[in-house]
Structure 1
Amino acid sequence: MHAFCDDDSVLGYKFFIMEYVKGRVLTDPDLPGIGVKERSAIYREMIRVLTELHAVDVHALGLDSISHNRGNYLSRQVSRWGRQYEASKTTELPRVESLSRWLQANATLGDSYQSCLVHGDYRLDNLIFHPTEPRVLAVIDWELATIGNPIADLATSLICYRAPAEARRVVPGFSTPVLRNLRDHGIPSEEELVAQYEELAMVEARTVWPVFLAFCAFRNASILQGVYWRALNGNAASENALGSQSLVELFADLGMRIADEANVSGAQVVLNKVEAFMLEEVYPMEESFFAHASSDQRWEVWPPMEELKEKAKRSGLWNLWIPKDLGGRFTNSEYAPMAAAMGRSVIGPEVFNCSAPDTGNMELLLRFGTEEQKRLWLDPLLDGTIRSCFGMTEPEGKVAGFTVRLGSLVAVAFGVAMLPLRSLLRSSSVASSDATNLQSTITIARAQLKVDGRKWWTSGAMDPRCRLCLFLGVSDPTAERHRRHSIVLIPMDAEGVEVERSLSVYGFDDAPHGHAEVAFRNVHIPLKDSFLLGQGTLEILDSNRRGSSHCFSGGWNRKGF
């Protein structure tokens, strides 16, 4: 772009001046009139340029502002195009509805990759090639550009291999190459181009490939429905637009065929991948981790962890804990063996973003959080850029008696480390898993909440990446006994929050994650978006937190593995 003018008085509207690029725009995926050798080079150049686009440093180019939401890319796209379809719907099309529901249920599979610059409509006919060489000079049509999942662009560029041939009459770029023997005509297969992308980008695409192909089919159906709706209203740009209604159903059928064939929720396939990842990537790094955990830098984040997390993301093995009823891929029974495989190493669960207490905290935010709470806390937790803790166990309580104190051992059910029996006998600790024993207070003061209390064995609070505490306390002492308590979201850098010391569990400090004693003294936070699910709802939150996110396994059961 040479210049941008935001002065409406010049032409009556804002405008920009782009560079003129002389070259070829290839609208027919068969590439007629082009030699066999050059056809292959053109398709491979398309993939090469795509990998370079995805490697762009968005921050260095000042493009951060093109998207304020970096997480849950595919989920957001499915929702967006679903709304687009609904806005232009002229009749009920059950296959479109079925595809939409399937994508909503499986979209989290596509939320697992590292975000990058995404073109949004990357196709052969949105590239300008050199007049005589198989070389891309420019990429055009950027109005759908955002920050998102790179596999979306790859699927968009290759959906032509699957698209119904009838699409040619409306949008040539949507249609499949009609040449029967692609290899003899120089056009690489879909599988070859996916493999080329994986090699150049060092990303595994095949695990999530069916989901993104099905999404592209759904998006094309939504676009074509809009074309048809505009044609009915006399606003279509194509003389063939009235014929696009039948294509909507054809693309929906294509998407459902991909979904039916894919079985992308195949738990055994993913379990095999988790176990292979543990063998190849995690176990070999344990010696390095233990050396770090024994050093004087043990309270700093172990440097290789972030690299392992990125590898898990690229492999499509990220956030596997998300329950199926929240759009995840697996039921509790399907996820449990994966959790067991991860738990065979002390570093395993975090590598896949499946470690406590984050999983339980994320599940509560996913189920009950407001949109603002999700933006502030859930998105970065799902992305693995921050961590969290759960403030439950307290050193003091109303009730007394030896039998009640032993009840503190059940704190493990809420994802909090068990207290050693000897410590219990010496302390006045109570069963904080029974919320009626809690003494911490949450007081509403106009537009703020005032929080006071002390928490023990707050797992994760020692981690330098810990940014959020889900704090349990009494918010209305006059309410009915099981409606007095709430969970509030407290930033760990709020004034009055102090991590006082590390506590050991059976002699281990579990650095850098740790189990902390944390004081909350006269902490003030905004009333708005601080209560999780509202005031007095701890009992509901408690019962929901004991779900798939709490499938754990002992760390050292590797015999025969």
Structure 2
Amino acid sequence: MATMTSELLRPVHAAQALDEAALLRYAAAHVPGFPGPAPSLALTQFGHGQSNPTYCIQASAPGGEARRYVLRKKPAGAILQSAHAVEREFQGITPDKRRNIYLAAAKTLAAIHKIDATAVGLQKYGKRDNYCKRQVDRWGKQYLHSTGEGKPARYQKMLDLIDWLKENIPEEDSSTGLGTGLVHGDYRVDNLVFHPTEDRVIGVLDWELSTLGNQMCDVAYSCMPYIIDATLSENSSYGGFEHSGIPDGIPQLEEYLAVYCSMSARPWPAANWKFYIAFSLFRGASIYAGVYHRWTMGNASGGERARFAGKAANVMVDCAWHYINRENVLRAHPATGMHVLKAPRQGFHVEQEDSTLTNGQGKFVPSEKVMQLRQKIIKFMKDHIYPKEDELYKHAQSTSRWTIHPEEENLKALAKEEGLWNLFIPLDSAARARKLLLEDQSHVSAGSSNDLLLGAGLTNLEYGYLCEIMGRSVWAPQIFNCGAPDTGNMEVLLRYGTKEQQKQWLVPLLEGKIRSGFAMTEPQVASSDATNIECAISRQGDFYVINGRKWWTSGAMDPRCKILILMGKTDFSAPRHKQQSMILVDINTPGVQIKRPLLVFGFDDAPHGHAEITFDNVRVPVTNILLGEGRGFEIAQGRLGPGRLHHCMRLIGAAERGMNMMVERALSRTAFGKKIAQHGSFQSDLAKCRIELEQTRLLVLEAADQLDRHGNKKARGILAMAKVAAPNMALKVLDMAIQVHGAAGVSSDTVLSHLWATARTLRLADGPDEVHLGTIAKLELQRARM
């Protein structure tokens, strides 16, 4: 699907060609900063929308950088007064406004559906019951009328779809109660009028198909952009937002639905959602078939697009069958934080609270799906990881420590079987990978399938409840293929890698067959300021040549490490934040030399370790660059947001394990005539630790929620707060646990010293406290000036 309007560009239609000389004169006189003198000009046209021709102008002065502009004009010829008033149109829309508009659309639809048709005199506007049954019959007949002998050929899958719909009409369709009422029939953002300055709907257009009936049909139809490309043009990829990635600002489908359900007091529609989506696609296919039939007869009103309507009809049918055959399309309950009212009707389910986490409703109440995964991880840790920790530690301290313990690979295979693999992958990244990575889609999670490479379709918030459990053992994250730096590197490849890069490196990382390293920090400079980086990446023909020294390259010592993501400078003369680039380096490339493993408070963290590496005239293909030259900071911001959050989540888990060990020790050991747990000083310190832990957990969950809803940039302040708070809290709790254990706490007989060492490094890794405190302070000062 075209998620950016630039993807809709095509050559200018002959009937809508412009006088380029006149256009240049006008632009030079009226557009500030327009390139000149004598700029070169390239014109293309946007393909979607027929009312007002819209063009892309690319202009560049000789030797200068090209600039792009959008021109929207009234159509040529005589037009009605006040028609095609392009001056009234929006000049653009920010992600925040886009989000508000979609949510306003959901709320407006809910308001329409809550209208009492009888009270406003519309009780005879249509029959409430059997709406879907009548619609399937009507549009099925329309399709048969538009196809067949002497007409465009009938598509057998469409005939099969009609039969499937007739056999699967929801029981609720025969009701005249809840969920029936006023139906718009063509409810979509295109048919809404928004307030000129406020993000609210002030008008709903095109009521030609309105009647009384099953209102969930309206809801499903309004969700079509998530399912299928609205343009359905000849060169379209046809997939909707769930396939191609949701544009900035647009809420997730489930959030949109949750807002509607909450505002309309309707139950969560998971039980029959496949039917309603398939029905919407079927109706669209029938309409397109009619358009194409009229085009073949020479009387279609759709212009050039009508020529592709026959193909579009079949695409919609194929999409419907693909949706029907998916294992999961909508989770059984709304996601955490999405409050949907309990339905009074049998067959619908709402999210239930979990007494192990909370005694009441709240913003951070995990869904049933998340709770099931959480319990599975807790059981897996108890049954398989904790019992193997001593064995894994002994191996990591032996002469064979730079080899992989066979039990680790066995545990990874078991985690895959249990469906606990790659849970860190965000829902949007998994959706993005559907097209680019796994074309047959058989490996892609539909939401909760177990044996799939792309995780369980979780949000960052949902993953937080699971990542915390993994943080209770230093061995657990890699067992679930959720360990750093692999998670961040996989996210980089998912978001920014080319198809070839993904096939070569991402797939084996997702499968757990290889591991990776991230090479950024350098010994000669203060690397917390990435503009200081000195590693040089210079272009020489079809290769980049890399020279520099990196250290603390975590994961590089692992014998399974095959790929490094390296940050260096491609242009030392560019603006400070455009000098850096990221590039993929095969660790076996000539010139890559691992100098030594580095110790963290005496721990070498074998077998993955932290390496010092030199790059001496390392030549890698130009195709290894990520996103393009000068885009390193942009990638880093996208990588570090979720990565920092994962560290914080794991620190919560480490602190929880410290709390548990501390309490067990205090209840079992006697000092000065009574149990340690009975000493007032211990009780006071224990209570303070619990308070700080819970405060930090809520901060981390809020950061995850904001990251999901607003993205890295908007959430950077609270992400910085979490990154400062989590390691400092964990250090305090673990230090207290060590103190209660006495000498045993600093020995290798418990995990406490290793957990403490890891927590201490995280006051430095992914940015030291001082950097994050600076970010927080700057945002506070900006707010004060507003």
TM-score, length basis structure 2: 0.37
Q: Distance in 1 between matches of 2:466 and 2:590?
A: 39
Which residue, 536, 541, 545 being the options, matches 2:635? 541
Q: Distance in 1 between matches of 2:276 and 2:318?
A: 11
Q: CA deviation at 1:248?
A: 8.5
Q: In 2 relative to 1, CA 257–302 (structure 1 residues): closer, same or farther, beyond 3 Å? A: closer
Matched, 1:384 2:484: no
Is contact 2:224-2:240 (8 Å) kept?
no
Which residue, 557, 565, 589 being the options, matches 1:462? 557
- How big is each residue's C-alpha offset from its partner over 1:460-482, in whole Å with a ceiling of 9 and x where there is no partner? 11000000111111110111111
Is contact 2:281-2:317 (8 Å) kept?
no
- How big is each residue's C-alpha offset from its partner over 1:174-202, in whole Å with a ceiling of 9 and x where there is no partner? xxxxxxxxxxxxxxxxxxxxxxxxxxxxx
Which residue, 519, 523, 531 being the options, matches 2:625? 531
- How big is each residue's C-alpha offset from its partner over 1:256-303, in whole Å with a ceiling of 9 and x where there is no partner? 996253669942332222222211221111121012112111100111
Is contact 1:442-1:474 (8 Å) kept?
yes
Is contact 2:408-2:479 (8 Å) kept?
yes
Q: In 2 relative to 1, CA 225–316 (structure 1 residues): closer, same or farther, beyond 3 Å? A: farther
Which residue, 467, 471, 493 being the options, matches 1:343? 471
Task: State the number of aligned residues.
Answer: 327
Which residue, 546, 552, 574 being the options, matches 1:451? 546
Is contact 1:221-1:252 (8 Å) kept?
no
Q: In 2 relative to 1, CA 221–455 (structure 1 residues): closer, same or farther, beyond 3 Å? A: same
State the partner residue of 1:560.
660
Q: How does 1:250-289 map to 2 (within 5 A)?
A: 259=330, 261=332, 266=367, 267-289=370-392
Q: Distance in 2 between matches of 1:494 and 1:219?
A: 51
Q: CA deviation at 1:457?
A: 1.2
Residue type of the alignment partner of 1:471: L
State the partner residue of 1:441.
536
Q: Distance in 2 between matches of 1:297 and 1:444?
A: 40
Q: In 2 relative to 1, CA 389–214 (structure 1 residues): closer, same or farther, beyond 3 Å? A: farther
- How big is each residue's C-alpha offset from its partner over 1:498-541, in whole Å with a ceiling of 9 and x where there is no partner? 1111110111100001111111101011112x111100111111
Residue type of the alignment partner of 2:491: E
Q: Distance in 2 between matches of 1:517 and 1:216?
A: 57
Q: CA deviation at 1:332?
A: 2.5
Residue type of the alignment partner of 1:309: K
Q: Distance in 2 between matches of 1:467 and 1:299?
A: 15
Is contact 1:221-1:247 (8 Å) kept?
no
Q: How does 1:412-431 map to 2 (within 5 A)?
A: 430-431=525-526
Is contact 1:106-1:329 (8 Å) kept?
no
Matched, 1:325 2:396: no
Q: Distance in 1 between matches of 2:243 and 2:422?
A: 13
Q: Distance in 2 between matches of 1:501 and 1:449?
A: 25
Q: Distance in 1 between matches of 2:563 and 2:466?
A: 27
SS of 2:563's equivalent in the other structure is strand
Residue type of the alignment partner of 2:622: L
Quick check: 331-340 or 304-313, which moved more? 331-340
Mind listing any 5+ residue stretches in structure 2 that lack a counterpart? 1-219, 230-238, 246-269, 294-312, 337-366, 431-455, 662-786
Q: In 2 relative to 1, CA 495–225 (structure 1 residues): closer, same or farther, beyond 3 Å? A: farther
Which residue, 454, 468, 482 being the options, matches 1:354? 482
State the partner residue of 1:496.
591
Q: Distance in 2 between matches of 1:251 and 1:478?
A: 51
Q: In 2 relative to 1, CA 457–98 (structure 1 residues): closer, same or farther, beyond 3 Å? A: closer
Q: In 2 relative to 1, CA 385–325 (structure 1 residues): closer, same or farther, beyond 3 Å? A: same
Residue type of the alignment partner of 1:540: E
Q: Distance in 1 between matches of 2:589 and 2:329?
A: 49
Is contact 1:500-1:517 (8 Å) kept?
yes
Residue type of the alignment partner of 1:384: G
Q: CA deviation at 1:547?
A: 2.3
Q: In 2 relative to 1, CA 217–100 (structure 1 residues): closer, same or farther, beyond 3 Å? A: farther
State the partner residue of 1:178.
none
State the partner residue of 1:300.
403
Is contact 2:285-2:317 (8 Å) kept?
no
Is contact 2:374-2:465 (8 Å) kept?
yes
Which residue, 370, 374, 383 being the options, matches 2:502? 374
Q: Distance in 1 between matches of 2:613 and 2:405?
A: 23
Which residue, 296, 312, 315 being the options, matches 2:415? 312
Mind listing any 5+ residue stretches in structure 1 that lack a counterpart? 1-91, 109-209, 234-241, 397-429
Is contact 1:214-1:254 (8 Å) kept?
no
Q: How does 1:123-202 map to 2 (within 5 A)?
A: none
Matched, 1:515 2:610: yes
Is contact 2:225-2:241 (8 Å) kept?
no
Is contact 2:424-2:487 (8 Å) kept?
yes
Identity %, equivalent residues: 39
Is contact 2:579-2:630 (8 Å) kept?
yes
Q: Distance in 1 between matches of 2:405 and 2:284?
A: 51
Is contact 1:99-1:255 (8 Å) kept?
no
TM-score, length basis structure 1: 0.51
Q: In 2 relative to 1, CA 247–359 (structure 1 residues): closer, same or farther, beyond 3 Å? A: closer
Larger Rg: 1 or 2? Answer: 2
Residue type of the alignment partner of 2:611: A
SS of 2:332's equivalent in the other structure is helix
Q: CA deviation at 1:250?
A: 9.3
- How big is each residue's C-alpha offset from its partner over 1:313-341, in whole Å with a ceiling of 9 and x where there is no partner? 11111111112332362332322231121
Is contact 1:332-1:547 (8 Å) kept?
no
Matched, 1:334 2:437: no
Q: Distance in 2 between matches of 1:246 and 1:391?
A: 48
